[in-house]
Amino acid sequence: MNLNPFKAGVLASAAFALVACGEVDLAAYEREEFPACYVDNGAWAGEDRAARYVVGSFDDFEIHFAQFLDKLDRAAGKAVSEPPQSWPALFAPLHDEAQANIVRLGRLLPRMNRPLDLAPMTGQFEEGTIWWPRGDHHTEYLAVALAEEFAGHQNLAEHMAAFLSRFEQAEALLLDLKFSETGADTMSSAQDVTRAAQQLRDGWEAVEPGMRRVIFDRPDMPIGESLSERLQTRVTAICKNYSECGDGESCGGGATSDGLTGEPMEAGS
């Protein structure tokens, strides 16, 4: 189901209100520089502003991704009646939006800044392991902790892997259409676009409820289970492991903070 104009307006108005009130300033928080572990061993991850950064990042992605899905649906319908030579102009802006949304998703998932980053993240959710931070930036630690929460929540890891795989396929299709040449043997069809758009929407609708359950606290949330407390627990566990094994680059197996074995720190760089 497409995002109706009323809901889209409500989401956009809510996001504007949050920013206007100073509740969410994602870029400012990202520009801050402080060691993720060496001052308070990760206790900063339990601060309210860390949780607000995560909530604001989800809201920002949800709004823009819903708009992207609606535009993709409309473009798929339009492509049916338009000549293929007009498709590059039709789909190029959507490919740009897909890339921008990958960057937005990178506030919620670690090391997610470009289309090539989708496949490794898909594999991590398929295996149920999240690779630990490779740098010292606090937002990467938050993203790792949050991804671990996603991976450990019911069957969300399976849905996340499917969603990311479909996102990767849709981005690749849009890239092909952006530079397509009329008459090429491998040229995609309008049906390919329609199918990819529907699969991506289905994938998002499968993960969005679970992501919300992980991120947004219930009014009756038990002590120790709030988002802030869970983020702090996971970041602190990472910091503790790094302090015991020394430099992160020599931390062997890179076990995740819930005890699972992750990717070695030197791999995938």
pLDDT at residue 228 above 50? yes
Q: What is the pLDDT of residue 260?
A: 36
How far is the C-alpha of 173 from the C-alpha of 186, rounded, in Å? 11
Q: Which stretch of 59-68, 188-197, 250-259 has the lowest confidence by average pLDDT? A: 250-259
Q: What is the mean pLDDT of the chain?
A: 85
Residues 6 or more apart whose Cβ sits within 8 Å of residue 207: 156, 159, 160, 163
Give the pLDDT band (50/70/90) at residue 246. Answer: low
pLDDT in tens, 170-208: 999 999 999 876 555 556 788 999 999 999 999 999 999
Query: pLDDT above 70 covers what percent of the chain?
Result: 80
Q: Where are the domains of the chain?
A: 5-250
pLDDT tier for residue 132 given thresholds of 50, 70 and 90 = very high
Q: What pLDDT sits at residue 10?
A: 42
Tens-digit pLDDT profile for residues 1-19: 454 544 444 444 444 444 4
CA distance 95 to 188: 15
Confidence tier at 247 by pLDDT (50, 70, 90): low
In the predicted structure, residue 66 carries a pLDDT above the cut 70? yes
Kind and range of the H or E run holding 11: helix 5-20
CA-CA distance, 269 to 265, in Å (whole number)?
Answer: 8
pLDDT of residue 243: 80
**Residue 113 has what pLDDT?**
95
pLDDT at 168 exceeding the cut of 80? yes
Rounded to whole angstroms, the Cα distance separating 40 from 31 reads 19
Residue 229 confidence (pLDDT) above 80? yes
Assign 236 to helix, strand or coil. Answer: helix
What mean pLDDT is predicted for residues 210-236?
A: 95
Per-residue pLDDT band at 242 (split at 50, 70, 90): confident
Report whether pLDDT(81) > 70: yes
